[in-house]
Each structure stands twice: as C-alpha cells, then as structure tokens.
Amino acid sequence: TEDAIEKALKKPGDININLVNAQQARRVLDRLVGYKLSPLLWKKIQFGLSAGRVQSVALRLIVEREIERDNFKPQDYFLIEGAFDYNKSLFNASLHSVSGEKLVKKVKNKEGKPEFKFLLTNEKQAKDILEEIKKQEYYIKSVTKKEKNRSPFPPFTTSLLQQAASNMFGFSAKRTMQAAQKLYEKGLITYHRTDSFNLSAKFLKESQTFINKQFGKEYYKKTFFKKKAKGAQEAHEAIRPTSLKKLPSSLGAVTKDEQLIYELVFVRSIATQMAPIKLLSTSVDISSKDNKFLFRANGQQVLFEGWAKAYTLLKTVKYNPLSQDTLLPDLKENTNIDLKDAEMTKKTTQPPARYSEASLIKTLEKYGIGRPSTYAPTISTLISRKYVLKESKYLVPTDLGRVVTQLLLDNFADIIDYDFTAKIEKDLDEIALGKKEWPKVVDTFYKPFEKRIKSSEETLSRRDYKVLGEAPKDIKCPDCGGPMLLKLGRNGKFYTCAKFPECKGMRGLDGKTEK
C-alpha cells in the first residue's frame, strides 16, 4: 500500500541475509527433487512427466483418498423421526437413543481414525422398534436454552481466499489468483500471496469508522487474529481492500471475476472487525414414559446479526452466513406431548469425499506443505501432466497419477511423506530465522537422496510400473493366442501379450487388434 511504501522509504532496512539464504535453500531443494526425480519417471514410465517436492505430495493425497474410496464398503443403516404435537404446534424430532444407546455413535477405528457406528443396521429390527415407538406415550424430559456467539472468520490469506472462491463460485485456484493479481495491479487490494492474518493499524481505524457509520456502533468489535497453520511466515498483511472508500458497488472497469473476488475480500475484511452473531440455541429431549426411547429436537434463533450484516454489501452474488431460524414451540419440562406419527428412513454410508481444490489446499496448509504462492501452480501442474482430472469440482487421479505415486512410494516414500515435507518447510523457516545454515540442510537431504536415485536407475524396471494387471481371461493375444496384460501407454491403457518382448501382440481396450 502507499502507506507501507512511504514507511519503508523513511526507514530503509538492511537486506536480511537469512531470508535470502532460506529462499536459496528452497530453490535448490526444489530443483534437486524435480531435476533428479523427473528424468527417472521419463525412463521408467514415460517421457514428459514431472515430480516435485510439493507437487508429488499433493498427488499422493489425491491418490490415497481415491484408494480409500475404492476400498470403502457401504453400510445400510436406519434412522427414525417422530412428528410431535404440543398444544396444536407440530414439530419433528429424531430418535436419539434406545435404552440409553445412541443411534449414531462416533468411535475410532483400528487405525485410530474417527468413524460412525450405527445401532440400527437391520431392517426388521428397525421396523420392530418403529412399531414399538408408535405404541408409547411421551413427555418432555428436558428443555435446554443457551445463548451462543459466532465469531467472524479471520481475514483472507491466500489459501483461505482460494478456498472461499472455490466453494462459492467454483473458481480454480489459478483463476482466483489471476483475478487477485489484476486487483493488486490496479491498487484495489493488498498483496495476495500471504499467510498472515495481520491488518494494519490504519485499516483497523478506517474499518471502525466505516462500520460505525454503515451499521451502527453496536456492530463494531476490534479483533486480532492469530495464525495457526504450521510454518506461517506472516511477511505481509492479510488480503484486504486498500481503501474502504472503494465500495463493491462502485469499482468501475473490472472483469466479472475481479468484481467477485473484490466483493469477497471487501466483505470478509469488514466482517473481521464486527461483533459476533448472537444465537439462542434450544435443545429438547422427549422421552417415552418407560424411558426406553429418547427423541431430540434442536432449534435456533438469531438474536443479533453481528458480522453477518457485512454480507449485505455484496453486489454481484447473494450470500447469507446465517441459516434460517428453526423455532420450536414454548415447551415446558415434565409435560405430556403427543406423537402423531413416526417414520423410518434407510440411509447408506458414503465413501470419503474426493478432494476439491479448496479441500486440497486446506489439507496442504494444515500439514504445513507448500507456501501461498505454490498452491495454484501445484494443482495446475497436476492437471496439465494428466496426473489428475477435474470432474465437476473434484480432483480424480488418472492411472498415470496412480502409477507415478506408486513408484515414488515404493522408492522415495520419505520424500513424499507428509511429515517429512512439513519438516523441510520447518528447516527453511529456521534458516530464515538464522537458526540453521542452508548448505547443511541441503547437504543432509541430498547425499542419501542421490544414492537412492542412482540405485533406482539401476534396479527399477519399466515393466514394474507400466503393467496394471492381468487382462480378462477371454482377452487373448491376437498373434499367439496366449494370455495378455493390461498396460499403461502414452495414450492410455491397452492390452499386450504376456510374453512381450518375445511376442508383440496387442489389443486396444475395445478388444480390437492394434497394429
């Protein structure tokens, strides 16, 4: 911003050689990984492939999520909902527990990961319980009312802006950064490659004046945010408008993408300095007279809009962070209530969702992998190399992406290990702080890495990673009549004779003979 430039000119500082060294180390490490691993992929899989310190870890995340989905076994379960009448006011409540045992319980599996355990997984059992429920009499066991505050979201960092634009507009990280770059060049927003939540004192003062005038003093609340992501460097401010005088409704000559991104940045920045949303939450437990069946209903009412009011400034897109009120009748504890009807619904567990660009960026940041400037180009590279396809908003690994990941996992598991990659980022941060010497960090990484590269060049066979499996038994070699293998080629999958190179018979996936 103009203010920051004037300040820097008045108090020029010395070049921080530690930061220079950290950048030098990052550049050398990235090139060592890319320049050494990429040619190995050319020799062992196909020409034109690439690997990278951050790129290959991101690909691993996508591939491993797909494997989780492949191995997922769906399970049917049943939920029961009751329609209750209280003094002629109707509302629904869900069956919460039977004889004290919850219908849906969160547990940890063998790997220590959270998963859900369901009580009703048998249709006959669920129907029997439904019939028993309908015969019972009910009373209101408890009514709990609680006021809650919802604090505003922090200001935008690069990753948060990319996630928000992806979720709201379906923008790719690259598209978001292109629009942000133009806004930055036009002097409308601050620097857009940042991992900081910091806002300048000048902006904080300007936002106070703006909020008090636009919404009223009760909507203002000064707030400071602290970065929680691993390895945050916080060299710049958060992304914000350079001036609150430039309202979203009066930007002038900008593209639609630029308008949308500016609106997001403007509203989010204002909202950070506004009062929390105040909510009244109501939870009602309804029990059968014998206390065997417990139903639960939840209601919510907005008492004060708080920072949600900032979103009324959006011009191009409509978004309300507040969900609609769900009001319950004025219920009294220990009074009777009528069950009018109950219904059973069959559900099926779903596999873990594929990564979208937004969720991938969020995960990379959580692990401390990469920097604000690397997220968009990393995803673009995965797509351009055909390691990943974009289906709707989701990232789906190709066979090529799976094969590349498998080769790297088999031979360079530590290089694409999540914790190792985060540790490298930590080492780079310590170089920037003067706590470590950059040649030693590079040397510690490079010596064992170089040995493995040489070993892999000698021992790895193209066949190990080109062969995807055996062909169906009815697919026979057109030349010798023998069994065939499914292989990955430059243009996709095809069948080749299991006796290759002695026999060179081939078929396409459609079963036709290849020439």
Structure tokens at 242: 């350079």
Q: What pLDDT sits at residue 341?
A: 96
Does 418 map to a domain?
A: yes
Q: Which of 38-42, 192-196, 372-376 has the lowest mean pLDDT?
A: 372-376
Q: What letter represents residue 126's amino acid?
A: A
Does 512 map to a domain?
A: no
Query: Is the alpha carbon torsion for 56, 62, 63, 65 positive or negative?
Result: positive
Domain check: are 66 and 84 in the same one?
A: no
Tell me the sheet residues that pair with 118: 104
Domain check: are 97 and 130 in the same one?
A: yes
Q: Residue 290 belongs to a domain with what CATH number?
A: 2.70.20.10
Give 344-361 pLDDT, tens digit per residue: 999 999 999 999 999 999
Closest CA to 27 of 431, 486, 460: 431
Given the residues 139, 184, 191, 418, the one annotated as active site? 191
Q: Is 102:119 a contact under the CB 8 Å cutoff?
A: yes
Domain check: are 267 and 287 in the same one?
A: no
Does 189 map to a domain?
A: yes
Does 324 map to a domain?
A: no
Exposure string (b/e) for 228-248, b if CB count within 10 Å is 16 or more?
ebebbbeebbbbbbbebebbb
Into how many domains does the chain fold?
Answer: 4
Q: Is 361:375 a contact under the CB 8 Å cutoff?
A: yes
Does 470 map to a domain?
A: yes
Domain check: are 359 and 409 in the same one?
A: yes
Domain check: are 265 and 163 in the same one?
A: yes
Other C-beta atoms lying within 10 Å of the C-beta of residue 139: 15
| Domain stops at, among 460, 476, 492 | 460
Q: What pLDDT sits at residue 106?
A: 87
Domain check: are 259 and 177 in the same one?
A: yes
Structure tokens at 504: 């060179």
Tell me the sheet residues that pair with 285: 142, 296
Q: Is 68:351 a contact under the CB 8 Å cutoff?
A: yes
Q: Is 45:404 a contact under the CB 8 Å cutoff?
A: yes
Q: Which of 78-92, 165-179, 259-273, 458-472 has the lowest mean pLDDT?
A: 458-472
Q: Residue 421 belongs to a domain with what CATH number?
A: 1.10.460.10
**pLDDT mean across residues, the chain:** 90
Does 389 map to a domain?
A: yes
Domain check: are 178 and 124 in the same one?
A: no
Domain around 182: 158-271
Q: Residue 248 belongs to a domain with what CATH number?
A: 1.10.290.10
Give 119-154 pLDDT, tens digit per residue: 999 999 999 999 999 999 999 999 999 999 999 999
Strands 104-108 and 101-102: unpaired
Between helix 357-367 and helix 418-432 the angle, nearest 10°, is 60
Q: What pLDDT sits at residue 462?
A: 67
* Cis amide prior to 501 (ω within 30 degrees): yes
Q: Residue 236's pLDDT band (boundaries 50, 70, 90)? A: confident
Q: What is the pTM of this model?
A: 0.83
Give 74-105 pLDDT, tens digit per residue: 999 999 999 999 999 999 999 999 999 999 99
Distance CA 159, CA 161 (A): 5
Does 313 map to a domain?
A: no
Does 401 map to a domain?
A: yes
Q: Is 223:276 a contact under the CB 8 Å cutoff?
A: no
Question: Tokens 């004889």 — which residue?
Answer: 99
Domain check: are 46 and 101 in the same one?
A: no
367 counts as catalytic = no
How many Cα atoms within 13 Å fall on the side-chain side of residue 404?
34
